[in-house]
Amino acid sequence: MGTDKKVAVLGAGMHPWGKWGRNFVEYGLAAASDALAEAGVDWTDVQFVAGADTIRNGYPGFVAGATFAQALGWTGARVSSSYAACASGAQAINNARAQILAGLCDVALVVGADTTPKGFFKPVGGDRRDDPDWLRFHLMGATNPTYFALYARRRMELYGATEADFAAVKVKNARHGLANPYARYRKEVTADEVLASPMVADPLRLLEICATSDGGAALVLCSTEFAKKHTGSDDLVTIDAVSTVTPRFPQAIIEMPNFSTDSSVAASTVGPTFKESVALAAYEEAGIGPEDVDLAEVYDLSSALELDWYEDIGLCKQGEAEKLLRDGDTTLGGRVPVNPSGGLSCFGEAIPAQAIAQVCELVWQLRGRATGRQVEGAKVGITANQGLFGHGSSVIVSR
Amino acid sequence: MTTKTRVPAIEGWFTMDEGAPALLGSRCTSCGNVAFPKETYFCRNPHCRGTEFAETELSRTGRVWSYTDAAYQPPEPYVAADPYVPFSICAVELAAEQMVVMGQVVPGVGVDDLSVGSEVELVLDTLYEDDEHEYMVWKWRPTDAATTGQGA
């Protein structure tokens, strides 16, 4: 697609991740205020509000767009609220982008925020025997780390990945996040400390599995015409692609919250895996390839999953992620740094905010404002993310 | 032993034949697609508009695709024993159905007893119990006789 499919990012904002225990709306408002201030746009000039929903904070969370709009003060702005598990934030971005590209509005605000309980994510309460997410906990005791661990063990079996490789991902990301003011964990860890932390789901240990966090992130998006007028410059940071593709049948890799894969009896498995297809669609939409990417923010729900993403977003071939990591290519200063923000490893997951936060980081990196974690001269970045029930997203940002 | 009545923890997902239990899936009468748990409304093969399904027993043995364990007690609605006893979980490839099905591994089998590609078979075992009932669920058990695991 050509440049006419780009939308500009005027401002990004975040509330620091943590376990603050306050109302999620507060985090969203803090992030929105920062994004509006960075954009130099007044709230009353926002025409469309895209909220990313949280399902653990009652009704206000289900109608997040309206909740944030009311809290900022009703202005009559149009609104949307999206839930797409971990990709909720990307769908909110995509809603805003579509409104702008359709010419229905010039300026949109995207906001996602969450307040999370302690410990493993568990399904929403009640006795729900027709909900696979409820049933997988009830019948198998299968938590999210169960699935991450199945993938990790698979990497060890297929590609010779070691526990030391997984620990090295954590060590790298912990170092990346040290100077990030929005990261929850800002502490260097050694491989020995990682490998000495308790096993949660073999072969994954406590320090290798992302925590659940409170946090908020926001973006102010607008048409490129508006941005040029507003900033008086052609030097824009733009969103060039938002991929929210669903899987293709038959899906041969077991995914949360399922009990089984699809069967390949009636239709054979061909083409890319779901996670590969998420990034491929983004590259195709932006008209670029993995070789054009300077940095990536990927969903390291576990240390091992980050390695899967290297391959799924095309930074290397299947089975070569460990080499990429060991060679330092994905470390700050390397060929294509991955998770310079520190990733989920340093943030923990604030579900509806996370995919937005990934884009915030890219925006600041491309503007050269990522103090202490800057990828020098970065021009193009990609995000990748996957959640339950066939959701995933990839966003490409360029300057 | 026990005098409690054994009932399935969920109706219709597996046979209660304790000697040779089987998972109950569906087979689309139009395209042959197999699904577990059972499909009831529309075939999930996008090239098929089938709406009729035959119940089918899935293969009782398969090979381990991957495996892990649950070192920490899973949250509700998992009903954990007190004190909590960690268990293994595996994802098993069924050759005939060309699909992977997850399940707990029988008690006593740890991750060191499992390997990718090794054969496991389906058994029934107690998931949890109350004063009157034992709630049964499917689990996988290595067919390798050297393991210490015990099914029901």
User: What residue ranges do the domains of chain B occupy?
Assistant: 5-10+59-147, 24-57
Interface probe for A, chosen from B58, B63, B100 (most Cβ of A below 10 Å), is: B100
Q: What is the pTM of this model?
A: 0.95
CA distance A112 to A107: 17
CB-based burial label for A58 (10 Å; 0-12, 13-18, 19+): exposed
Residues from A in contact with B at Cβ < 8 Å: 119-120, 122-123, 127, 129, 134-135, 137-143, 146, 149-154, 157, 198-204, 249-250, 252, 254, 258-267
DSSP run (H or E) holding A30: helix A24-39
A254 and B31: CB-CB below 8 Å?
no
CA distances to A1, A93, A179, A372 from A241, in Å: 9, 10, 29, 28
CA distances to A135, A153, A328, B108 from B68, in Å: 19, 8, 29, 14
CA distance A268 to A190: 44
A260 to chain B: closest CA residue: B101
Instruction: Tell me which residue of B108, B71, B115 sits closest to B90, measured CA to CA.
Output: B115
B104 and A262: CB-CB below 8 Å?
no
B102 and A154: CB-CB below 8 Å?
no
Per-residue pLDDT of A266-292, as tens digits, reads 988 788 999 999 999 999 999 999 999
The torsion angles phi and psi of A368, rounded to 5 degrees, stand at 75, 25
pLDDT band at B151; cut points 50, 70, 90: very low
Distance from the B50 Cα atom to the nearest Cα atom in chain A, whole angstroms:
12
Interface probe for B, chosen from A122, A133, A147, A153 (most Cβ of B below 10 Å), is: A153
Strands (E), A238-357: 238-243, 295-298
What pLDDT shows up at residue A185?
97
What pLDDT shows up at residue A268?
84
Per-residue pLDDT of A123-171, as tens digits, reads 877 888 889 999 999 999 999 999 999 999 999 999 999 999 999 999 9
Residue where the block lists tokens 């507060």: A26
| Low-confidence residues in chain A, pLDDT < 50 | 1-3
A149 to chain B: closest CA residue: B68
pLDDT band at B2; cut points 50, 70, 90: low
Q: Which residues contact A221 (CB under 8 A, 6 or more apart)?
A: A7, A8, A9, A10, A93, A96, A97, A100, A107, A108, A109, A110, A239
Is residue A42 within 8 Å of residue A77, measured between CB atoms? no
A126 to chain B: closest CA residue: B77
Instruction: Retrieve residue B98's tokens.
Output: 């060309």
A157 and B70: CB-CB below 8 Å?
no
- Does the predicted interface ipTM exceed a cut of 0.90? yes
In the predicted model, what is the mean pLDDT of residues B73-93? 96
Is residue A263 within 8 Å of residue B34, measured between CB atoms? yes
CA distance A68 to A51: 7
Beta partners for B82?
none
What pLDDT shows up at residue A165?
98
In the predicted model, what is the mean pLDDT of residues B58-69? 98
Beta partners for A220?
A11, A109
Indicate the angle between helix axes A88-101 and A351-366, nearest 10 degrees. 60
Is residue A95 within 8 Å of residue A82, measured between CB atoms? yes
Bridge pairing between strands A48-52 and A107-114 = parallel
What pLDDT shows up at residue B152?
40
What pLDDT shows up at residue B65?
98
What DSSP string runs through B50-103? Answer: ---EEEEEPPSEEEEEEEEEE-SPPPTTS---SS---EEEEEEEETTTTEEEEE
Q: How many Å is the maximal CA-CA distance in chain A?
A: 59
A143 to chain B: closest CA residue: B74
Per-residue pLDDT of A290-318, as tens digits, reads 999 999 999 999 999 999 999 999 999 99
